[in-house]
Structure 1
Amino acid sequence: MSQASGSAGNVRRAFHLTALMQDVGDTMLTLAGGAVSAGLGRAAMELLSALIERQEPGGEVNASQAELRSRLGLSRNSANTAMSPLGSRNLVLRPKDRTYRTYYLHPYVASYASQEELEEAIEDAAEHMEAGELPEITAPLYETAPPKRQSQPLRAVRAAG
């Protein structure tokens, strides 16, 4: 592959990553506004946030589901339900050997200790995805745009008593 075509590929991947991060940012902003976006429920977004908070640089998370459940106040069933779309969308990855207490955040979601580590991880992830060794993050495909959150006017409530 020529250096020019390699650069074009990197630009396309960078554009894809920028668009993906914009989508993730929009999802987080929408969640902060109280809506559920991109097919991830509130519990799934809270679980993803807890995983992001507990990660080591590079995206490894060493925590049992019981610890995560307890931290978020979720039942076992709710935690399983919340983890399901995170796994099916490839935001959270489990090792092939299913090591107890180990989750990995997709390299596009993980944090890194330095800008250089981030750039190297993104480049490696793109190569692994191209080779079929790492799944791409998926998002639901909508035939029509999901509904926008309707603003609700504030209203007065009576004091108890």
Structure 2
Amino acid sequence: MLMDTGLLAMLRRLKLTPTATDVLSVMVEKQEPGGHVIMTQPEMAKELDIHPSRVSRAMALLVDRGLVIRPNNGRGRSYALNPTVAGYESESHLADEMTKQLALGGPPPIMVPKYQQPPPKPGQGHLSVAS
């Protein structure tokens, strides 16, 4: 299956929990072409040997970041990976999906968290030394 490696390049910046990273990994592994994942959260929990509530929290984070889309208003047992990180059968299928997404206004955005507080500018950080 053909996938864009951009997800790997941005994974660190997404600030996912280890469980969310594991759930995403299972979804990438089990996806059908186009990013559809037909698995329930309990099935994912069994695959990862963790409690289903941990998968639920991880899934909420993945949805919040825009990596996972819940079709049918979140009901049912299917999920979809964001079209920009999904796998496709070929380059032409990838191009067709991106053309379709652009016609709809673009694929859903992937939300990279911003700093809660900007980092200090160079030279402005001061270390205090305890005496």
Against the structure 1 CA distance between its residues 80 and 97, is the aligned structure 2 distance closer, same or farther, given a 3 Å change threshold? closer
Structure 1 residue identity aligned to 2:112: A
> Are the equivalent residues in 2 in contact too, given 1:47–1:68 (CA < 8 A)?
yes
* DSSP-derived class of the 1:104 partner: strand
Against the structure 1 CA distance between its residues 77 and 52, is the aligned structure 2 distance closer, same or farther, given a 3 Å change threshold? same
* Alignment counterpart, residue 139 of structure 1, candidates 112, 117, 120: 112
Percent of aligned pairs with the same residue?
30
Please give the alpha-carbon distance, in whole angstroms, between the structure 1 residues aligned to 2:63 and 2:89: 24
Please give the alpha-carbon distance, in whole angstroms, between the structure 2 residues aligned to 1:74 and 1:129: 38
Where structure 2 has 5 or more consecutive residues not aligned to the other structure, the ranges are 121-131
* Bigger relative contact order, structure 1 or 2 (CA pairs below 8 A, ≥6 apart): 2
Matched, 1:128 2:111: no
Structure 1 residue identity aligned to 2:31: Q
* Alignment counterpart, residue 83 of structure 1, candidates 59, 62, 83: 59
* Alignment counterpart, residue 68 of structure 2, candidates 88, 92, 110: 92
Where structure 1 has 5 or more consecutive residues not aligned to the other structure, the ranges are 1-17, 31-36, 146-161
Against the structure 1 CA distance between its residues 113 and 87, is the aligned structure 2 distance closer, same or farther, given a 3 Å change threshold? same
* DSSP-derived class of the 1:83 partner: helix
Q: CA RMSD in A?
A: 2.3
Q: After TM superposition, which residue ranges in structure 1, 4 or more long, deviate above 4 angstroms?
A: none
Aligned length: 115
**TM-score normalized with structure 2 length:** 0.76
Bigger fraction of residues in strand? 2
Matched, 1:59 2:32: no
Against the structure 1 CA distance between its residues 140 and 97, is the aligned structure 2 distance closer, same or farther, given a 3 Å change threshold? closer
* DSSP-derived class of the 2:80 partner: strand
